[in-house]
Chains A and B, each alone.
Chain A
Amino acid sequence: MGQPATIRIQAEPFDTAAEIEALSAGRHDVGAVVTFSGLCRDEAGTLAALEIEHYPGMAEAEITRIADEATARWPVSAMTVVHRYGRIEAGEPIVLVVTAAEHRQAAFEAAAFMMDFLKSRAPFWKKEHRRDGSSGEWVDAKESDEAALERWR
């Protein structure tokens, strides 16, 4: 088991720079910090916003399980994961993964692993709000997201 991760599920936006700073502040053992931010795309101007539903309690628990596996597999010094829920306008951030490690490879790989599993194992669902005001659909899971997990087996 590696270092514990900081995991937050929140409606509010997050400050990426502040999260990076918080993760590495006061430490001299961190040589690499990798950040992934996922934003709400407007799908060529057709999408106004996403409504993100989550399973309270399980969302935190599942991301903790994924983070525990990541920190067991790679020598990660620290990790922060923030995932938002509720209405998120096009252009706004949805998810943040920050990994810190002594060397870059562990930080890159742990961040990629976290995102691959967040996509299809963390209990969140996206519904579209269309720009034309019509009621949007629930976003379908992509087979490519499920296939992405294969490379970590």
Chain B
Amino acid sequence: MKLVYFAWVRERIGVAQEDVTPPEGVATVRDLLEWLKSRGDEYAEALKFPEAIRVAINQEHVRHDEPIAGAREIGLFPPMTGG
């Protein structure tokens, strides 16, 4: 699946997007955030407070208990400051 990052999540991780294949057992958004944190210091830093991270699956907002099975694109970003 494709992961896309925005704002300070993108800056701290150091890339704007990447393709990943999470291991078996990574079932929900919450699981995905925990797994990503284990991938390196920059991920651990960006996702230090996972409850602060907003998530979209296929460009629609979801909660952290949402299953990720079948997701084509998952966006991770800080709380939005539009308008």
The answer to whether A118 and B59 touch across the interface, beta carbons within 8 angstroms, is no
Shortest Cβ gap from B24 to chain A (Å) = 28
Chain A residues, Cβ within 8 Å of B61:
62, 121
Q: Which of chain A's residues have a CB closer than 8 A to the CB of B7?
A: 53, 125, 127, 138
Cα A141 to Cα B75 with chains together (Å): 18
User: In B59-74, which residues have CB < 8 Å from any A CB?
Assistant: 59-61
Chain A residues with CB under 8 A of B77? 55, 123, 125
Given A55-B59, A61-B60, answer yes or no on A83-B82 (Cβ-Cβ < 8 Å): yes
Please report which residues of chain A, range 110-125, place their CB below 8 angstroms from some CB of chain B when the two chains form the complex. Answer: 115, 118-125
- Interface size grouping (class) on chain A: 20 to 34
Tell me whether chain A's interface is mostly helix, strand or loop, or mixed: mixed
Q: Which residues of B contact A133 (CB under 8 A)?
A: none
The answer for the CA separation of A78 and B7 in the assembled complex, in Å, is 32
The 9 closest A-B pairs by CB, nearest first: A124-B82, A141-B79, A125-B7, A58-B59, A122-B82, A119-B83, A118-B83, A139-B81, A126-B81
Contact indicator A123/B6 (Cβ below 8 Å): yes
Interface check A91, CB cutoff 8 A: no
Q: In whole angstroms, what is the CA distance A125 to B83 when docked?
A: 9
* B4 cross-chain contacts in A, Cβ below 8 A: 55
- A58 CB to closest chain B CB, in angstroms? 4
Cα separation A120 to B61 with both chains bound (whole Å): 11
Known A53-B7, A138-B8; contact A124-B59, beta-carbon cutoff 8 A = no
In the complex, which of the residues A57, A120, A138 contacts B59, with contact meaning CB atoms closer than 8 Å? A57
Q: Is A94 an interface residue (CB 8 A)?
A: yes
B46 within 8 A of A: no
Bound-complex Cα distance A140 to B80 (A) = 8
Taken together as a complex, chains A and B put the C-alpha atoms of A69 and B80 apart, in Å, by 19
- For the complex, give the distance between the alpha carbons of A58 and B74 in Å: 11
Contacts of B79 in A (CB 8 A): 120, 140-141, 146
Q: CB within 8 Å of A: which of B40-76?
A: 56, 59-61, 75
